[in-house]
Amino acid sequence: MSAAVGAVVVGVSIWLAAHAVAADEFARGLSAYNAADYRTAFDAWYPLADENDPKAQAAIAFLYLKGLGVRQDDVRAADWYRRAAQRGRPEAQFFLGTLYYLGRGVPQNDQLAHVWCEIALAGGVTAGLDCRDAASARMTRADVREAYRMAARWLDAQSPP
């Protein structure tokens, strides 16, 4: 085996080990969450979220949104949902859209609510339909068309609105 191939094998092995550890930590947090030990769930998920794991970011956001194991904080919830949404996590996209619709933790913005809920809908979160349509009802036709364009651009390029 050449040195280059050996280096690739070692690199892949390290990457796989790191992902296995992350999966174990997420599972540990999920077990704690299911046992209503929200602080332990937070402690397991936070390092993963801080390392840009979108699943953990969405989980941390939910804890902040509901005040489970942490002080309830819509601003922090929106920030973590934004991070996960920008990394393609559909449920985070839906929650972020809902927060924009309600103006919780972010300035109320029907256009961004529409965009994020449309993106979530494209990712399989059917509740995005209600959120998107509720936002549309408060928008002009021109604003709705622009929101669809923004969502389509994001879905094509995966660049956040």
Supply the pTM of this predicted model. Answer: 0.84
If one counts every other C-beta atom within 10 angstroms of the C-beta of residue 27, the result is 11
Assess contact for 73 and 64: CB atoms under 8 A: yes
pLDDT tens sequence across 38-97: 999 999 999 999 999 999 999 999 999 999 999 999 999 999 999 999 999 999 999 999
Residue 94: name the closest of 60, 61, 128, 63 by CA. 128
Q: SS3 of 160, please? A: coil
Sequence ranges of the domains in the chain: 88-161
The CA distance from 136 to 103, in Å, is: 15
